[in-house]
Structure 1
Amino acid sequence: MNRIIKRRTLTVLKTLVAAVLLVIQVYPIFYVVTSSMKTTDDFRHLASYALPSAFNLENYVKVFTTSSMLTYFKNSIIITVGVLIPLLIISFMAGFALSKIHFKGNKRVLEFLMLGLMLPFQVALIPLFTIFNNLGILNTYPAVILPQIAFSLSYSIQLFYSFSKFLPDEIIEAAIIDGCSPFRTFVEIVVPMSTNSLLTVATMQGVFTWNDFINAYTFTKSTAMKTVTLGLNDFVGFMGTTDWGATFAAITVTVLPTFIFYFITSKYMMSGLTAGAVKE
């Protein structure tokens, strides 16, 4: 009898903790979305936690008509794609090679690449700014893209290295014996087998790149090069007055692509994260 009571008590406590955590995680999103529908009068007269007085989409219209949000979206898409494609190609090939190709010093090469995990990106901002200024590429896409590729390589290579360790050697050896070149084996066999790991790294790095602020703020200066994270500042007016309705609407449309992308790829991402956990 005591065991049953303990189990039920434990179940109730777990449910309560899960409910509290769910509210803590979901409420900020709910607050932003509902606030994006509030008018100026709502912000003045209603409590901050109150629902909007009416269903109102004027703030969303304002976001796309009074600011260059479409330009910011274009810039963010170009930068995200420009980071992900080279990053995935380089890190996947490097991780696979270090994992499967045994050559003298491959462990040393991996250790050298992992040193990048210990270097905070912020310490390189001023040197990079000086270098890009001397090269004349400030306020361009390469100035924002290149640092993000460089500082994401160590982490991405480590993930692909771990994933590749558990790819069956027998399948790769069989392909080589059947006459496949190493490159063809990699493209036609290894890549399809690593879809989950590719989507995992693409999702993680894509979200980081989309939400990046410090890179875009440091290396761009014109409105035409702003990203969506910088575009939120458009709704801060004279003497710091803020159009909160438009700001919350801009935040909503800014984070929406990352939510959609994550929910589409979350199943593959979880499979990729756990792929190397247990060796069969």
Structure 2
Amino acid sequence: MYEIEKDSAVVMKKKNIFQRKEKLGTVLKPMLAIVILVIQIYPIFYVMTSSLKTPEDFRNLATYALPSSLNLENYITVFFTSPMVNYFKNSMIILIGSLIILLSTSLMAAFALSKIKFKGNKKLFSFFMLGLMLPFQVALIPLFTIFSETNVLNTYFAVIMPQVAFSLSFSISLFYSFCKFLPDDVIEAAIIDGCSSLGIFTKIVVPMSKNAILTVATMQGVFCWNDFICANTFTRTTDMKTITLGLNDFVGFMGLTDWGATFAAITVTVLPTFIFYFLASKYMLEGMSAGAVKG
């Protein structure tokens, strides 16, 4: 009897310890999540509130203080005084051009490598994957020399093609994982009905790959929008600068720094990526997990 009571006491003690740890975890986890959220959100909040401050606010108020009034003059300066609209236009042209070429070529390549059986397709896929090990920086000087000799420097082509080439391997790997688990029965039924390879791709593969396309478009679009090295290397004039280069010139313009306008320019630069990510995040998560489970 004594041994039974002793074992019961030990079990109860362990149970109480487990319950205390569980209660401590339920308290600490939300607190840790709040701390991480504040650390991530505060820089964004600080930039956006600072973009509404006047020069007097920067001189008289504390760094963390809110603006004294709603001031939109900094945004007026960014859009109507500086060449930021032209920078924004260049970035949009490069972004759209890069995504159109990248998505179409990588999806077609992934579909062919995963579904069409031909001699050497595994080796060809491995060859594409070698590009994941090659950093973009090692090709800057050779590409600059080639573009200079062919007179394509300071053009949209010179900025778009390197980004497409060095994003191709990663995009093919994502699309390959998705296309590998596309139902073969659907494709075989389309072939029996007389559908061509192009028709299968455009009418079946592309609609079924919507989530995967949005995943690749979101990830590569953010990289393309934030690109600095490629645009800085292959452009020469102010008319061809992207928004990241324009932001770099905006800070310290004419030897002075208008902090309100600078923060407004930063807000204008990062806001499109935030909006696009929040709109496409649901489809992005679905696309990332689409090839994880066969079904």
Q: Residue 237 of structure 1: which of 234, 253, 267 is its match?
A: 253
Query: Aligned partners of 1:79, 1:70: CA distance in 2, in Å?
Result: 14
Partner of 1:158: 173
TM-score, structure 2 as length reference: 0.92
Q: Residues 256-267 of structure 1: matches in 2 within 5 Å?
A: 256-267=271-282
Query: Aligned partners of 2:242, 2:101: CA distance in 1, in Å?
Result: 20
CA contact (8 A) 1:235 1:246 kept: no
Partner of 1:271: 286
Deviation at 1:237, TM superposition (A): 2.7
Q: Residue 76 of structure 1: which of 91, 94, 97 is its match?
A: 91
Deviation at 1:246, TM superposition (A): 0.6
Give structure 1 stretches of 5+ with no counterpart: none
Deviation at 1:121, TM superposition (A): 0.4
CA RMSD after TM alignment: 1.2
Number of residues paired by the alignment?
A: 279
Structure 1 ranges of 4+ moved more than 3 A: none
Q: Residue 81 of structure 2: which of 62, 66, 80 is its match?
A: 66
- 1:211-241 residue CA offsets vs partner (Å, 9 max, x unmatched): 11111111111111111111112241344x3
Query: Aligned partners of 1:221, 1:11: CA distance in 2, in Å?
Result: 56
- 1:57-109 residue CA offsets vs partner (Å, 9 max, x unmatched): 11001101211111111111100011000100100000111111121111110
Query: Aligned partners of 1:8, 1:60: CA distance in 2, in Å?
Result: 49
Deviation at 1:42, TM superposition (A): 1.7
Given residue 245 of structure 1, which amino acid in structure 2 is its aligned partner? G
Query: Aligned partners of 2:83, 2:94: CA distance in 1, in Å?
Result: 17
Query: Aligned partners of 1:34, 1:176: CA distance in 2, in Å?
Result: 58
Deviation at 1:166, TM superposition (A): 1.1
* 2:199 aligned with 1:177: no
The alignment-based identity, stated in percent, is 69
Query: Secondary structure at the residue paired with 1:71?
Result: helix
Q: Residues 189-200 of structure 1: matches in 2 within 5 Å?
A: 189-200=204-215
* 2:154 aligned with 1:127: no
Query: Aligned partners of 1:238, 1:260: CA distance in 2, in Å?
Result: 32
Q: Residue 202 of structure 2: which of 187, 203, 206 is its match?
A: 187
* 2:40 aligned with 1:25: yes
Greater Rg over alpha carbons, structure: 2
Partner of 2:182: 167
Give structure 2 stretches of 5+ with no counterpart: 1-14
Given residue 168 of structure 2, which amino acid in structure 1 is its aligned partner? L
